[in-house]
Amino acid sequence: MRLSRSFLPTLKENPAEAQIVSHRLMLRAGLIRQTASGIYAWLPAGLRVLRNISQIVREEQDRINAQEVLMPTLQSADLWRRSGRYDAYGPEMLRIQDRHKRELLYGPTNEEMITDLFGQSVKSYKDMPQTLYHIQWKFRDEVRPRFGVMRGREFLMKDAYSFDVDYTSAVASYRRMMLAYLRTFQRLGVQAVPMRADTGPIGGDLSHEFLILAPTGESGVFYDAALEEQDWLDTPVDTESNDALEAFFNRVTAPYAATDEMHDTQAWEAVPEDRRREGRGVEVGHIFYFGTKYTQAMGVTVSGPDGAPLHPEMGSYGIGVSRLAGAIIEASHDENGIIWPDSVAPFRAAILNLKMGDAQCDALCEELYAAAPEYFLYDDRPERAGVKFADADLMGHPWQIVVGPRGAKEGIVELKRRATGERSEVSVQDALTRVLQSDDGERAPTNGQK
Amino acid sequence: MRLSRSFLPTLKENPAEAQIVSHRLMLRAGLIRQTASGIYAWLPAGLRVLRNISQIVREEQDRINAQEVLMPTLQSADLWRRSGRYDAYGPEMLRIQDRHKRELLYGPTNEEMITDLFGQSVKSYKDMPQTLYHIQWKFRDEVRPRFGVMRGREFLMKDAYSFDVDYTSAVASYRRMMLAYLRTFQRLGVQAVPMRADTGPIGGDLSHEFLILAPTGESGVFYDAALEEQDWLDTPVDTESNDALEAFFNRVTAPYAATDEMHDTQAWEAVPEDRRREGRGVEVGHIFYFGTKYTQAMGVTVSGPDGAPLHPEMGSYGIGVSRLAGAIIEASHDENGIIWPDSVAPFRAAILNLKMGDAQCDALCEELYAAAPEYFLYDDRPERAGVKFADADLMGHPWQIVVGPRGAKEGIVELKRRATGERSEVSVQDALTRVLQSDDGERAPTNGQK
């Protein structure tokens, strides 16, 4: 994208309304604009981030054979009456009347709808297990929306729902999803730690939150350093084998990890002191097994192996996609701006032309840009070098390719890595090779998309 | 995708509520399910169609340098008060109150919001022209929603908005968009004819609807056969040259074309008889120039070349993305089911294993499937051949690869082209080559996506 022709409005000043760093930086870097309280428009660079995150989430869901659907944003109140939640849900639910005075609501989550869709179509245990997910906008009418997209009212979420014939199979679905989440967050370039969460009346140990470590996080977290050392992309797990899934689950859950709410001082003191990690975290995902709660309430059954009807066992699994855009910035920034992980960055590199109008600089920049226009933001504005450097740091491109008149004569550019500040003088070809090959190492072809 | 593990529920019977063929076929082929009046969930195959359409729309928007953003579904009533449309808009607007009694609405369109976003960020004529678009769900509270996704209440639309400093530049933006639309519809595999539409109080000739020809269309259409003969993918137009854009526009608009509303009998009779085409059409797009209507009403200006403030000239440009899924079926089906164009089909081919459990059939099918699992739907259900043939015809895959025990012994499969019914016996390698190379010829790498 050529910056001179782009809608990428950066701000020099910190917006007064933004209290936390990700909100400030998302406004300043031109990623989002607020259109109403807790409601945001995503500008071109922000939308690229949102889509990169969505795509990684999607690929890892597809990888465990979860199937993508798309449920609507508006739901009928009647559906929620069947589960008993219409009256139970508080003022966070946005209730709506249509022109015929029928009651609708803007979906805050989709357990009822997916249970109904499943029940309409699946009649036999033979067509199970199934895990369905969608990535869709939701609405929760927060009393005091704040922190930008971290606690917005209209937000993008991936929510998945599993349907199994029995508890053993449901546990396997849960564990597969846990693996998918660990891989997803690792590919997003952030450290996310799974923490045991409250299971309420359901009981058991099948509820985990995933928290990204960030100094501004809303929860205190305590965990064993062993959890930092795992490479889930390099850990093959046979997701068709219950034994392999159990071994995996035990490896994840054996080390101590808890938010302040669930913290157990005695267990904590059993962790060797040099392995104790304390910090703060932002919740970006939650997986939860809840058995037959909805299939019973809504009267959904399938015929079981013995011919008798049974209520499928369910779990639900959320990732806050729009929240992640903010959470990643909370975890990865410095005083000059955002530091995007390679896999999430709106552009892989900025090309900074320090002397627009200089024949050699212009030619070299055009040559670079033409090599991969979809990956590059070409700063072709008639601005001073200082402005271009500052904007590139603010926007957080993983790489900057700096083209000045002295180097251009010899076909040399300066390559800067945003995360480390490391700079080197390299040939055009070397710059292209390094920028285009840096990746999260797991960019599989999109499953199912042509 | 393996059919035995997929959520692709087909129906044998015609659903009683569906009055038109696309609605019937979308329900029967397991593409959608209704969740409330005029509101649908998209099941896995339907979502693939929706995404294929969106992606072609996106690529052609990006090609003319339109920039993608994503505006929220909910808007503040105050924004619409600034343009005067909050009170003027009828009961189709879904009005909502949040917990603080603030008035919101579910956006039926986005002129106000985009004008406001543009005005916040663009201050000078030097940063223009700009064309911004998004692909987002919208809501119009139809009195009697019907015809499935063809007239739903919650629907997916691409809407673009152009901002120019003067009329000449606005006309160029309009013509670029017309080209993008002609290319888009051609890539979608349908014949869409641009028809002059009413410009209301704006006047001039810059309003065109695009209608897909289908016997069930809502409007009568009359046009010169010359419009069928154009290949817009093979027609290079220099979109930076106003002269080239004018020549292009004249070529499109010279031949007679009108809906029954705008029909002019006298002009019609001037068309040579053998070139007169009459039929019916479904509106799938509309482009419209409306000048400074919103920038004036909302007080948005930029500084012009002479330093004085000016109101940018605007146009808006819509494509009904979810409606297109239905419209394409209206235009392309037979008594057995859907006939998907290659570019839109959820799967490029179905692999029909006629004898599950036969070692050679199974091995051959697995070999085919492994070659491109993202393109194939492998029918591995323990069903009779007749059921598999009927479902494949119903779902409308462009190709069927039929694997039976006799051929499998010699590595031979039957390849059937859905659109023509043509069948041939070919080797596995030939089948793969033919299926994987058939394409709409214009599947550019996604612009801006990694």
Q: What is the pLDDT of residues B196-228, one digit of tens each?
A: 988 877 777 899 999 999 888 889 999 999 998
Determine the distance in angstroms separating the CA of B268 from the nearest CA of chain A, rounded to an integer.
Answer: 42
Based on the fold, state whether residues A321 and A404 are members of the same structural domain.
no
* Residue keyed to tokens 């099948």: A206
Could you tell me which residue, B104 or A443, shows the higher pLDDT? B104
Give phi and psi for A75, each to the nearest 5. Answer: -130, 160
Stretch A320-344: mean pLDDT, rounded? 97
The average confidence (pLDDT) of chain A is: 94
Cis peptide before A398 (omega within 30 of 0): no
- d(Cα A266, Cα A263) in Å, to the nearest integer? 9
Exposure class string for B182-206: b at 16+ Cβ within 10 A, else e: bbbbbbbbbebbbbbbeeeeeeeeb
Closest CA in chain B for residue A144:
B100
- d(Cα B401, Cα B368) in Å, to the nearest integer? 9
- d(Cα A188, Cα A185) in Å, to the nearest integer? 5
Which residues pair with residue A391 across a beta bridge?
none
Residue A385: pLDDT over 90: yes
Domain end (from B337, B371, B389)? B337
Beta strands B219-224 and B94-97, pairing class: unpaired
Based on the fold, state whether residues B126 and B169 are members of the same structural domain.
yes
Residue A43 in contact with partner chain B when CB distance is under 8 A: yes
Count of structural domains within chain A: 2
Taking CB atoms and an 8 Å limit, are B348 and A450 in contact across chains? Answer: yes
3-state helix, strand, coil in chain B (%, to 5): 35, 30, 35
Determine the distance in angstroms separating the CA of A127 from the nearest CA of chain B, rounded to an integer.
Answer: 7
* Domain extent at residue A387: 347-437
Neighbours of B66 (CB within 10 A): 23
Determine the distance in angstroms separating the CA of A204 from the nearest CA of chain B, rounded to an integer.
Answer: 29
- d(Cα B39, Cα B29) in Å, to the nearest integer? 18
Q: What is the pLDDT of residues B245-256, one digit of tens each?
A: 999 999 999 999
- AA identity, residue B179: L
Task: List the 105-134 stretch of B: residues with Cβ below 8 A of A.
Answer: 106, 113, 116-117, 120-122, 130, 132
Residue B359 in contact with partner chain A when CB distance is under 8 A: no
Based on the fold, state whether residues A399 and A421 are members of the same structural domain.
yes
- d(Cα B186, Cα B183) in Å, to the nearest integer? 5
Q: Which residues of B touch A446 (CB under 8 A)?
A: 374
Distance linking the first and last C-alpha atoms of chain B: 24
Does A449 fall in a domain? no
Based on the fold, state whether residues A323 and A351 are members of the same structural domain.
no
Concatenated DSSP letters of A109-178: --HHHHHHHHHHH--BGGG--EEEEEEEEEE---SS-BTGGGB-SEEEEEEEEEEESSHHHHHHHHHHHH
From B36, B92, B450, residue closest to A104, measured CB to CB: B36
Based on the fold, state whether residues B191 and B243 are members of the same structural domain.
yes
Residue A445: pLDDT over 50: no
Whole-angstrom CA distances from A278 to A215, A216, A251, A273 are: 10, 13, 20, 11
**pLDDT number for residue B450:** 29
Does B444 fall in a domain? no
- Whichever domain contains B382, its CATH number is 3.40.50.800
Based on the fold, state whether residues A221 and A253 are members of the same structural domain.
yes
Q: What is the pLDDT of residues B29-63, one digit of tens each?
A: 999 999 999 999 999 999 999 999 999 999 999 99
Neighbours of A81 (CB within 10 A): 13
- Whichever domain contains A39, its CATH number is 3.30.930.10
**pLDDT number for residue B439:** 60
- d(Cα B212, Cα B283) in Å, to the nearest integer? 6
Domain end (from A337, A357, A387)? A337
- d(Cα B381, Cα B365) in Å, to the nearest integer? 12
Does A11 fall in a domain? yes
Read off the pLDDT band of A205 (50, 70, 90). confident
Q: What is the pLDDT of residues A417-430, one digit of tens each?
A: 999 999 999 999 99
Does B445 fall in a domain? no
Q: Which residues contact A337 (CB under 8 A, 6 or more apart)?
A: A25, A28, A29, A393, A394, A395, A396
Distance linking the first and last C-alpha atoms of chain A: 24
Task: List the 177-236 stretch of A: residues with Cβ below 8 A of B.
Answer: none
Q: What percent of chain A has pLDDT over 90?
A: 90
Taking CB atoms and an 8 Å limit, are A35 and B113 in contact across chains? Answer: yes
Taking CB atoms and an 8 Å limit, are A79 and B130 in contact across chains? Answer: no
CA-nearest of B102, B216, B92 to B154 is: B92
Residue B55 in contact with partner chain A when CB distance is under 8 A: yes
From A35, A73, A132, residue closest to B7, measured CB to CB: A132
Based on the fold, state whether residues A161 and A270 are members of the same structural domain.
yes
From B47, B79, B104, residue closest to A70, measured CB to CB: B47
Does B447 fall in a domain? no
- d(Cα B176, Cα B66) in Å, to the nearest integer? 10
**pLDDT number for residue A46:** 98
Does A137 fall in a domain? yes
From A69, A94, A448, residue closest to B43, measured CB to CB: A69
Taking CB atoms and an 8 Å limit, are B137 and A137 in contact across chains? Answer: yes
Residue B376: pLDDT over 60: yes
Which 3 state secondary structure label does DSSP give A65?
Answer: coil
**Radius of gyration from C-alpha coordinates of chain A:** 24
**pLDDT number for residue B102:** 97
Based on the fold, state whether residues B123 and B227 are members of the same structural domain.
yes
Domain end (from B282, B305, B337)? B337
Taking CB atoms and an 8 Å limit, are A36 and B75 in contact across chains? Answer: yes
Based on the fold, state whether residues A406 and A298 are members of the same structural domain.
no
Taking CB atoms and an 8 Å limit, are B139 and A6 in contact across chains? Answer: no
Determine the distance in angstroms separating the CA of A198 from the nearest CA of chain B, rounded to an integer.
Answer: 28
Tokens of A78: 């009647």
Closest CA in chain B for residue A77:
B36
Q: What is the pLDDT of residues B303-357, one digit of tens each?
A: 999 999 999 999 999 999 999 999 999 999 999 999 999 999 999 999 999 999 9
Q: What is the pLDDT of residues A242-289, one digit of tens each?
A: 999 999 999 999 999 999 989 999 999 999 999 999 999 999 999 999
Residue B448: pLDDT over 70: no
Does B269 fall in a domain? yes
* Residue keyed to tokens 């660079």: A45
Based on the fold, state whether residues A167 and A254 are members of the same structural domain.
yes
Based on the fold, state whether residues A393 and A320 are members of the same structural domain.
no
**pLDDT number for residue A439:** 61
Residue B238: pLDDT over 70: yes
The reply to whether the predicted model has a pTM over 0.90 is: yes
Q: Which residues of A touch B6 (CB under 8 A)?
A: 67
Q: What percent of chain B has pLDDT over 90?
A: 90
Does B449 fall in a domain? no
Residue B383 in contact with partner chain A when CB distance is under 8 A: no
Is B422:B400 a contact under the CB 8 Å cutoff? no
Q: What is the pLDDT of residues A123-178, one digit of tens each?
A: 999 999 999 999 999 999 999 998 999 999 999 999 999 999 999 999 999 999 99
Taking CB atoms and an 8 Å limit, are A35 and B374 in contact across chains? Answer: no
From A68, A154, A374, residue closest to B72, measured CB to CB: A154
Residue B384 in contact with partner chain A when CB distance is under 8 A: no
The average confidence (pLDDT) of chain B is: 94
Read off the pLDDT band of A212 (50, 70, 90). very high
Based on the fold, state whether residues B306 and B393 are members of the same structural domain.
no
Q: Which residues of A touch B107 (CB under 8 A)?
A: none
